[in-house]
Amino acid sequence: MTSEEKDADTTLEPQFKQENGEVYRNPTEVQMSQIVLPCHANHCWELSVGQLLKWMDSTACLSAERHAGCSCVTASVDDIHFEHTIGVGQVVNIIAKVNRAFTSSMEVGILVTCEDLYTDRQWKVCHAFATYVSRRTEAGKVQLKQVIPHTQVEQMEYSLAAERRRMRLIHAEIITDLLSSSTAQLGECQEYEDAVPADKTRVESVELVLPPHANHQVSTFGGQIMAWMENVATIAASRFCNAHPTLRTIDMFHFRGPSHIGDRLVLKAIVNNAFKHSMEVGVCAEAYQGGEPLRHINSAFMTFEVLDSDRKPRTLPHLRPEPVDGKRRYKEAIARKKIRLDRKYIISCKQTEVPLSVPWDPSNQIYLSYNNVSALKLMDTRNNWVLTSEKNKVRLYTLEENHTLCVKVEIYVGVPAEQAFHLLSDLRRRKEWDRHYEECEVINQVDEDDTLYRVVTPSVTKGGKGKDFILLASRRKPCDFRDPYLIALRSVTLPNHPPTEDFSRGEVLCAGFTIWEESSAVTKLTYYNQATPGVLPYISTDVAGLSSSFYSTFSACSQFLEANNDSQGVLPPSAF
């Protein structure tokens, strides 16, 4: 099996047999298979990405509508990375299913694979997440029914969907903040003699929205708009390099307002910046009818490469931006490149591929906190934990996988879940029950839900150095009763807190609490820790059965929570 084929396998859920012996199929799942014909391809005999986006949007929309039972529109599509191109004669297989429904919106996961009919090979092309919103009725906003996850993969996607939604809804705000702070740090654009003037790449094109471009509710299909946007972006990119460009990434984008049959859609594109091997093309879609003013429908940023005959990216020429707006976009493209890399590597890397301590800075905060929370959620959805020891209802579980050891401690406490969440959220109070927390200080209260701490733990050997950890703590309240309260911890590096001689720097890859409400007065508390070499000495004696310090620590935790059960007005760390 090639690595590409393996890749396709890992994202496809293994068949899940139900008790009655039948293979389980998600009720919202919709599949589409298309053979790529010359009419779907560009002049290089490759499937045009615009056509693929139309198929992806139709499949995902049908899945959303199957769940909603009413008509839905595309609200947004998260970043898409295209790993491969698809040739004429190959088959595109698309599977879409609703991961989670919120109030009137749903996250739909879309997996695209390509199949070569002559060799029987299959490989992954991309995995995308799109949000669909059910159309308002006369009675107002629709309240969708909940999705009930059945398999471990569904449970995981359900849980992560809430975290992705959080990121999506603040995306525009985050990008605006990051662009204004990062572009201020960039100097003047460099002048190059042989640079290609940006104006040469400018494209403006109009489309009339006709019935085949719209659904039965006369709204323009989101996929059709994306396809038109991709078309003008490809023209701009080709003008820049005088060659055939390959689309690699489309940044997360949002359909700001609807478009209907009869609209004239004006699509404008220009190359914003060119880097060594890639260029950013920006596209803007606006609509009008008759003499009405233009309505801003969408803006997207697409990254193209130019491949040589060995499919390696070619070195690109420099770009000379237009004055004022062009220079601003040129700088913003540099800032977006960093944001894109952070997003790609921090969010979508498999947990084992993420470096232990990622440097923290305000520009990657949102992605690091996503990574922090999603790693803990992934641990929480695993169902192959092995009970290693139990003492007075304090249970210690382990999970050994991919050469890592994870531990989980589970206890029930007689405190409401929200109170336990507040008490455990402030890491400075942990020394009241955990002797491993000798000192703990807040370094930076990043926002209401995320805090950077420095924690000092005692030495495990006599006369040895203590350890210190720089931790990002991310706290989350549940979205609904199927979510826990959650406090996720991971190490980060901070330039102004380098390791010192007095302590050896320890690292936490993934740790934290999930807090489930069992009843109004009883809470299930689960503590997780993925053992890195730095924390292994603290837990290996317990796992090996040589001690039961987990028991004394978590009994003390339970006593701490119960003793503070009635403390009024417990404040989050942000309030200190």
- Member of 147, 269, 440, 473 binding ligand ADP (CB under 6 A): 269
Query: Closest separation between CB of residue 485 and ligand ADP, Å?
Result: 38
Of the pair 103, 176, the CB lying nearest ligand COA is at 103
235 binds ligand ADP (CB under 6 A): no
Contact 191, 330 (CB under 8 A): no
The DSSP bridge pattern shows strands 91-101 and 105-116 to be antiparallel
Scanning 242-364, the segments in alpha helix (DSSP H) are 325-342
Tell me the number of residues near ligand ADP by CB under 6 A.
10
Three-class secondary structure of residue 480 per DSSP: coil
Q: Which of 76, 68, 222 is nearest to 137 (CA)?
A: 68
Instruction: Transcribe 270-290 into DSSP letters.
Output: EEEEE-SS-EEEEEEEEEE-T
Closest CA to 95 of 62, 133, 119, 73: 62
- Closest CB to ligand ADP among residues 150, 202: 202
Residue 183 or 404: the one with the smaller Cβ distance to ligand ADP is 183
- Contact indicator for 443, 456 with CB cutoff of 8 Å: no
Residue window 255-284: x/- pattern of binding to ligand COA, with contact defined by CB under 6 A: xxxxx-------------------------
Report yes or no: 106 and 51 within 8 Å, Cβ to Cβ: no
Partner from ligand ADP, ligand COA, none contacting 58, C-beta within 5 to 8 A by type:
none
153 binds ligand ADP (CB under 6 A): no
Question: If binding is defined by CB under 6 A, does position 284 make contact with ligand ADP?
Answer: yes
Contact 492, 535 (CB under 8 A): no
Q: Which residue has the tokens 């698809």?
A: 86
Q: Least CB distance from residue 472 to ligand COA, whole Å?
A: 25
Applying the rule CB under 6 A, the residues between 420 and 479 that interact with ligand COA are none
Q: Should residue 99 be labelled a site residue for ligand COA when binding is judged by CB under 6 A?
A: no
Scanning 151-159, 262-270, 401-409, 524-532 for contacts with ligand ADP by CB under 6 A, the matching segment is 262-270
Residue 202 Cβ vs ligand ADP, minimum distance, rounded to whole Å: 5
- Using CB under 6 A as the binding rule, whether residue 102 contacts ligand COA is answered as yes
- HSE-CB for 432 with a 13 A CA cutoff: 14
Instruction: Tell me: does residue 283 bind ligand ADP (CB under 6 A).
Output: yes
Non-local CB neighbours of 215 within 8 Å, separated by 6+ positions: 61, 71, 221
Interface of this chain with ligand ADP, residues 322 to 361, rule: CB under 6 A: 329
* Beta carbons within 10 angstroms of residue 545's beta carbon: 10
233-243 CB burial, b ≥16 within 10 A, e <16: bbbbbbbbbee
**How far is C-alpha 436 from the geometric centre of its chain's CA atoms?**
33
Nearer to ligand ADP, 201 or 558 (CB): 201
Q: Among 59, 93, 155, 220, which residue interacts with ligand COA (rule: CB under 6 A)?
A: 220
Q: Which does 569 bind (CB under 5 to 8 A by kind): ligand ADP, ligand COA, none?
A: none
Residues contributing to the site for ligand ADP (CB under 6 A)? 202, 268-270, 272, 282-284, 299, 329
What is the binding site for ligand COA (CB under 6 A)?
73-76, 102-105, 131, 133, 141, 168-169, 219-220, 222, 225, 254-259, 297
